[in-house]
Structure 1
Amino acid sequence: MMMQVSKSSVMAVKSYKYQAEALVKDYLLADPIVPYTAVLGGIVMCKMAYNVTHLISSLYFKGYASLTKSQRIEWNNRGMSSAHAVFITVMSLYLVFFSDLFSDRLEGLVTFRSSNISNFTLGVSVGYFISDIVMILWLYPSLGGMEYVLHHLLSIIAIIYAMLSGEGQLYTYMVLISETTTPGINLRWFLDTAGMKRSKAYMVNGIAMFVAWLVARIFLFIYLFYHIYLHYDQIEQMHIFGYVLTFLVPTILFIMNMMWFGKILKGLKKTLAKRQ
């Protein structure tokens, strides 16, 4: 009798699993609605990450309750941006370096390659940038100045175009890998807000952030420009809007990255000098 119940339970679980997989494949990841499903999913993910950050911080960080309302909002917002950064970094690294989607070994132009997974991932990122820029504008300038607004607008335009047109997704993902620096930046703010600016963790974070920024936002962009140079004949075949975005967005972001890198270097020197 117990074996029959067990078998029926297993069969029921498998049935629900197959139904869920069919739902995802036939509806949520169906070609026409992938972008819209993904954007909505990104917005929902942001809301969940914001709420989870608030819940965990209020339970396990004693100083959270003593923060001002503005500081608590920024604290939760940074938890949200860290969640997106982890997701988009993992997916970008996989699609660019480990999957065959953008491999030169395959036939066809690399600038016109896309898949349901790549489109869905970009949609989630669009949902995040929309959520974040709304918060930035709503609380302007406490969550960031005009440079953050410009960064997010460029990101939204470029990602939406790549998602809907299928053009230039490789370069979009190369730029998105730079989000790997976001958790380190947020951790630095958390430590500062928690009064741990003189701690060893703050110094280690500064060094790690310097290295990560150098690799992900300087060296990687140089490699991106080199890749564009090697595949210029393919880029020429893109729509004029995609062609302009391929050069304009990485160039503007690279200039901003260099400016921020100067500030990071200056801050690291000051921290190391204080430790000595």
Structure 2
Amino acid sequence: MEFFNQLILAVSVASFITFQVLFHYLSSWVSTCVSPGFKKLSEKQKIEWNSRTVSTFHALVVGIFCLYILHFDDAVNEDPVWGDPALVKLNVAITTGYLISDLLLIFYHWKAIGDKFFVVHHLAALYAYYYVLGQGLLPYFANFRLLAEFSTPCVNQRWFFEVLGYPKSSKPNIANGVMMAVIFFLVRIAVMPIYYERMFSIYGTEAFYRLPFGGRSAWMCSSICLDVMNVMWMHRIARGCYRVLRSRRKLEEDAQHNGKIE
């Protein structure tokens, strides 16, 4: 067990270092090769670009690991409260390293990417992950929540298109917007019944009462608050997607109409 705790610590530290290297060195180099428009950005925009690139990489790594655990980790799926948290701890350790790295970057580049909401979000997440990494509690639910990371790449891509000057009515922007709405719904809204059905099946059981009060409170309160925000965000995304699709359709109808007149 002592060796495993050291492994978790090593993964967290390695994760922190990796994301720092990605931000300071690799992101700019790759972005320059992939997108010529990167060189034309302001210094502030480049900082946010690199931050979002790192965010996208983290989301894909953790999200894929999360799916693997949900499909193949029988111990966690059969006992969501006290099941063997080994793989979940590794995944959460990667996220912990990322969150600490991102917090450091937010504070250091506050004028460019400073955001009080993200500071609160990261600190709250680290508090919840303490119970997973420190005590191995609720591995299934901790891992399930990481499914939400799959919506991050599309959200970041939307910002990339915007800063590069792509019109909102352009095909790449619309395709990404529709994909963002669909994925956000699938990984943050559609999964709610599964999550809460599992939560209610645990409530009142012996496994539930074995949880410390702090762990129970962090789990239930954070879940409700997070999903209230998810519903609000989904409403805004859906409205934005509808407006863009409607304006695109209107432009196409106008173009067809003008073509017939000519």
1:130 aligned residue: 100
Partner of 2:62: 88
- Opposite residue 90 of structure 1, the aligned amino acid is I
Alignment match, 2:34: 60
Moved over 4 A (4+): none
1:74 corresponding residue in structure 2: 48
Q: Aligned residue for 2:255?
A: none
- In the alignment, structure 1 residue 249 sits paired with structure 2 residue 222: yes
Distance in 2 (CA, whole Å) between partners of 1:258 and 1:144 is 24
Match of 1:260 in 2: 233
Deviates more, 1:166-175 or 1:148-157: 148-157
Native 8 Å contact 1:185 1:209 kept in 2: yes
TM, length-normalised to structure 2: 0.87
Question: Is there any run of 5+ residues in structure 2 with no aligned partner, and where?
Answer: 250-262
Question: Distance in 2 between the 1:53 and 1:268 partners?
Answer: 29
CA RMSD of aligned residues (A): 1.9
The whole-number CA distance in structure 1 between the counterparts of 2:233 and 2:106 is 19
- Alpha-carbon distance in 2 for matches of 1:226, 1:144: 37
Paired with 1:247 and 1:167, the residues of 2 have a C-alpha distance of 13
Q: Does 1:179 align with 2:149?
A: yes
Q: What residue is the counterpart of 1:236 in the other structure? A: 209
1:214 pairs, out of 160, 180, 185, with 185
Match of 1:194 among 159, 164, 172: 164
1:65-124 Cα offsets, whole Å, 9 max, x none, are 1101110011111110111101111111111233212232xxxx4301234332222111
The whole-number CA distance in structure 2 between the counterparts of 1:131 and 1:221 is 29
In 2, the alpha carbon distance for the partners of 1:275 and 1:176 equals 34
Question: Are the counterparts in 1 of residues 47 and 112 from structure 2 also a CA contact under 8 Å?
Answer: no
Q: Secondary structure at the match of 2:210?
A: coil
Identity rate, percent = 24
CA distance in 2, matches of 1:115, 1:223: 20
Q: Deviations over 1:120-163 (max 9, x none)?
A: 22111100011112222333364363322222122111112211
Deviations 1:181-233 (A, max 9, x none): 00111111111111113320110111111111111111223321111001111
Please give the TM-score of this superposition, normalised by the length of structure 1: 0.83
Q: CA distance change for structure 1 residues 218 and 205 in 2, over 3 Å: closer, same or farther? A: same
Q: What displacement does 1:42 show?
A: 1.2
